[in-house]
C-alpha cells in the first residue's frame, strides 16, 4: 500500500537538490525544496511535515536555530529531522545538530542506497507514530491529550452543565441468543460505527460502549454552543437511522433491531482512571439519571429530562410524558423528542437541522454529510448504465485522491468541504448529457446545495471548481488545481490500463470507436501534449508513474507496428 508524506528539504546546494530529487521522487514522497528558513516558514505554517532535511553547513542557513524553532511548530514537532553534512570532518556540528533535535545525518556527496534506506526507515517510523496518535485520539479527547503532552497528566475537572446521551438496543439479550457471535458482533459494530460518525459530526465526545449500550457527552470536552441541542440532533439522527434500517428489514422480511435513547444534563466530574489501561470517564448523578431516562424510553424513541427539555424546547417538538419514578433519583419530569420545529428544519421535514440552527450551535453552516448522501444516491440511481468510466466508482476514487492531495497541500476546514463537495457533484451533469456536461453540473449545485445550508458565495466557488475541469478553462485557485489533479490521478497509478480500458469502452458506446493503434495514439497524444499536473504535490507523487505509462504505451505501439 502506497503511503504519502511531505518531505521538506532546506538546502540551497543545487547538486544536493538535484541528487535528492533523483533519489527520492515518487513512491509517495512529496518533496518540497526551500533554499532557507524564510522560504520554509510559510510551508511549515500551512503543511504537516513528516521528514525534514536541513543542510547545517550552508552559511545562508542557520540550521541550529531552525532546529530549535521546529520544536515548537505544531506542523513539525512530530517530524523526523535529518541534517545534511557536506564534510565528514564536521563531527562537532553533527553532535550539536543531534542536541537540537536531529535524529540522523546524511553526508554529501550522497550514497543513494544509504539515503533511500534511511528515508524509508524514518517514513516507517513516522507512519507508526501517526497510527499511535490516531489510536490515542480514539481513546482520549483532544483536550486530554493536550494536557498529557504538555504537563504529563490530566487533573479531574468539574463541569456544571454537561450533557449525557445513552443508547441501547431493545431486547438485546434475546437478539444475542438467536445470532451467531460473529454476525452479532459485525452488526453491532456497524451500528456503533454509524453512531461514532454522527457523534463526531455534532462535535460530541464518545465515551464508551458497555455491551449494547453507547454513551456520549456534550459540553465537557468541547466549547461549541448549545451542547443539549447538538446532543438531541445526534439522537434524532441515530433514531431515524435505526428506523430506516428497521423499515428496510421489514420490507425484505429480515430481522431488525430497535433502539432506545435517553438524555440528561447537569453537573459532572471528568477525569482519567487507571495506571495501565487508562480510560477517560465521567461521574455524577447526571450520568445515572441519563441512563435511567434511556431505560424508561420506548422502542425507537428519545426520552429527555426536564433539564434537557428546558434547553431544547425552542427548537424541537416535545411530548410531555409526566413524572417518572427512577431508582435513587425520585420523580423526574420527562419528555419525548419528536422532531425539529419547521423553522429550524432542512426541507421542513423535521429530521435535519438547517443552516440557521447549525449556526446557533457553532456548527459549519454546510451539512456536507447530508449533501454527500444525497448526491451519491442520485448518481447511483440516475447515471446511465453505459458509463463504464464516469461511474459512481470514479467519483469516489476522485474523492479519495482529492483528500490525499489536499492533506499534503495543507487544505482543511471550509475549503476542504467545498473541494469535496465539488468532487462529488462534478460528474452530475452526465445524468443528462455526455458532452459539455460541466455547465449542467454547475447548475445542479446552484439548485441543490442551498437545501443543505451552503450560501451563495460557497456555491459559486464550488461551481467554478467544477467548471475548471473543462478543456477551455485553466484552473487558477489551489482548489481548482487539486480538483483537476484528483480527476486525473489514475494517469500516474499502477492501475492506469484497467481504468483506461473502461474509458475506451465508454467512448465506443458514444460512437467513438478506435482501432488498437488509434487508441494508443489517442492516449499518447493526451498524456504528452494535453495533460499536465497543476499542483506540485500531484506532480511529485504521480508524474513518475505517468512517464512510465507513456513508455509502456510507446512499447505497445512498437510491438503492434512490428507484428
> pLDDT tens-digit profile of 506-548?
999 999 999 999 999 999 999 999 999 999 999 999 999 999 9
Helices 413-425 + 392-409 axis angle, to 10: 160
pLDDT at residue 71 above 80? no
Percent of the chain with pLDDT over 90: 66
Task: Provide the 3-class DSSP secondary structure of residue 551.
Answer: helix
Q: Whole-prediction pTM value?
A: 0.85
Tell me what pLDDT residue 65 has: 74
pLDDT band of 1, cuts 50, 70, 90: low
Assign a CATH topology to domain 5-139: Rossmann fold (3.40.50)
Which range (127-136, 311-320, 395-404) has the least confidence? 127-136
Assign a CATH topology to domain 154-360: Alpha-Beta Plaits (3.30.70)
Instruction: Check for a shared fold between 5-139 and 368-562.
Output: no
Compute the average pLDDT of residues 130-146: 84
pLDDT at residue 120 above 60? yes
217: left (phi over 0), alpha (psi -120 to 50) or beta: beta
Mean model confidence pLDDT for the chain? 90
Alpha carbons 58 and 86: distance in angstroms, whole number: 9
Tell me what pLDDT residue 561 has: 87
Are 207 and 216 within 8 A, CB to CB? yes
Higher pLDDT, 222 or 488: 488
pLDDT band of 87, cuts 50, 70, 90: low
Summarised one tens digit per residue, pLDDT across range 270-304 is: 988 877 777 888 999 999 999 999 999 999 999 99
- Domain covering 368-562: architecture: Orthogonal Bundle (1.10)
pLDDT band of 451, cuts 50, 70, 90: confident
Tell me what pLDDT residue 286 has: 93
Report the DSSP beta bridge partners of residue 316.
340
Tell me what pLDDT residue 60 has: 63
Q: Where are the domains of the chain?
A: 5-139, 154-360, 368-562
56-60, 84-88, 136-140, 245-249, range with greatest mean pLDDT: 245-249
Are 402 and 426 within 8 A, CB to CB? no
pLDDT band of 26, cuts 50, 70, 90: confident
Percent of the chain with pLDDT over 70: 97
- 13: DSSP letter: -
Amino acid at each position: 500500500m502506497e503511503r504519502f508524506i511531505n518531505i521538506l528539504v532546506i538546502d540551497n546546494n543545487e547538486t544536493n537538490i538535484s541528487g535528492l530529487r533523483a533519489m527520492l521522487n515518487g513512491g509517495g514522497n512529496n518533496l518540497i525544496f526551500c533554499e532557507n528558513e524564510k522560504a520554509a516558514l510559510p510551508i511549515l505554517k500551512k503543511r504537516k511535515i513528516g521528514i525534514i532535511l536541513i543542510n547545517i553547513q550552508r552559511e545562508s542557513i542557520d540550521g541550529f536555530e531552525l532546529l530549535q524553532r521546529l520544536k515548537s511548530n505544531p506542523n513539525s514537532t512530530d517530524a523526523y529531522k535529518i541534517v545534511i553534512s557536506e564534510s565528514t570532518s564536521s563531527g562537532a556540528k553533527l553532535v550539536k545538530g543531534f542536541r537540537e533535535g536531529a535524529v540522523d545525518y546524511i553526508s554529501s556527496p550522497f550514497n543513494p542506497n544509504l539515503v533511500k534506506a534511511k528515508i524509508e526507515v524514518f517514513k516507517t517510523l513516522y507512519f507508526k507514530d501517526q497510527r499511535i496518535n490516531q489510536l490515542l485520539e480514539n481513546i482520549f479527547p483532544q483536550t486530554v491529550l493536550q494536557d498529557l503532552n504538555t504537563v504529563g497528566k490530566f487533573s479531574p475537572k468539574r463541569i456544571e452543565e454537561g450533557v449525557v446521551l445513552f443508547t441501547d438496543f431493545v431486547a438485546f439479550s434475546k437478539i444475542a441468543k438467536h445470532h451467531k457471535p460473529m454476525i452479532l458482533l459485525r452488526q453491532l459494530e456497524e451500528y456503533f460505527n454509524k453512531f461514532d460518525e454522527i457523534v463526531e459530526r455534532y462535535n460530541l465526545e464518545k465515551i464508551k460502549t458497555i455491551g449494547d449500550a453507547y454513551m456520549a457527552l456534550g459540553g465537557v470536552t468541547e466549547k461549541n454552543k448549545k451542547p443539549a441541542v447538538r446532543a438531541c440532533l445526534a439522537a434524532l439522527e441515530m433514531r431515524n437511522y435505526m428506523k430506516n434500517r428497521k423499515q428496510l428489514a421489514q420490507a425484505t422480511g429480515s430481522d431488525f433491531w430497535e433502539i432506545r435513547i435517553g438524555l440528561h444534563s447537569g453537573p459532572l466530574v471528568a477525569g482519567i482512571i487507571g495506571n495501565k489501561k487508562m480510560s477517560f470517564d465521567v461521574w455524577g448523578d447526571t450520568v445515572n439519571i441519563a441512563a435511567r431516562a434511556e431505560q424508561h424510553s420506548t422502542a425507537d424513541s428519545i426520552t429527555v429530562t426536564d433539564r434537557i427539555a428546558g434547553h431544547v424546547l425552542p427548537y424541537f417538538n416535545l411530548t410531555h410524558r409526566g413524572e417518572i419514578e427512577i431508582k435513587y433519583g425520585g420523580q423526574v419530569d420527562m419528555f419525548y423528542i419528536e422532531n425539529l420545529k419547521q423553522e429550524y428544519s432542512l426541507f421542513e421535514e423535521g429530521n435535519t437541522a438547517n443552516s440557521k440552527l447549525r449556526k446557533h450551535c457553532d456548527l459549519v453552516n454546510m451539512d456536507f454529510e447530508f449533501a454527500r448522501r444525497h448526491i451519491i444516491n442520485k448518481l447511483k440511481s440516475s447515471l446511465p448504465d453505459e458509463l463504464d468510466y464516469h461511474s459512481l466508482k470514479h467519483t469516489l476514487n476522485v474523492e479519495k485522491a482529492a483528500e490525499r492531495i489536499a492533506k499534503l497541500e495543507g487544505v482543511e476546514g471550509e475549503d476542504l468541504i467545498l473541494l469535496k463537495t465539488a468532487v462529488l457533484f462534478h460528474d452530475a451533469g452526465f445524468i443528462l448529457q455526455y458532452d459539455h456536461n460541466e455547465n449542467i453540473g454547475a447548475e445542479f449545485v446552484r439548485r441543490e446545495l442551498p437545501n443543505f445550508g451552503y450560501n451563495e458565495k460557497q456555491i459559486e466557488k464550488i461551481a467554478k471548481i467544477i467548471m475548471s475541469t473543462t478543456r477551455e478553462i485553466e484552473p487558477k485557485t489551489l482548489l481548482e488545481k487539486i480538483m483537476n489533479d484528483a480527476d486525473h490521478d489514475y494517469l500516474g497509478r499502477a492501475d492506469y490500463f484497467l481504468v483506461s480500458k473502461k474509458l475506451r469502452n465508454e467512448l465506443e458506446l458514444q460512437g467513438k470507436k478506435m482501432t488498437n493503434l488509434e487508441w494508443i495514439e489517442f492516449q499518447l497524444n493526451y498524456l504528452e501534449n494535453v495533460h499536465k499536473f497543476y499542483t506540485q504535490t500531484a506532480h511529485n507523487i504521480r508524474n513518475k508513474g505517468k512517464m512510465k505509462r507513456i513508455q509502456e504505451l510507446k512499447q505497445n505501439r512498437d510491438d503492434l507496428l512490428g507484428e
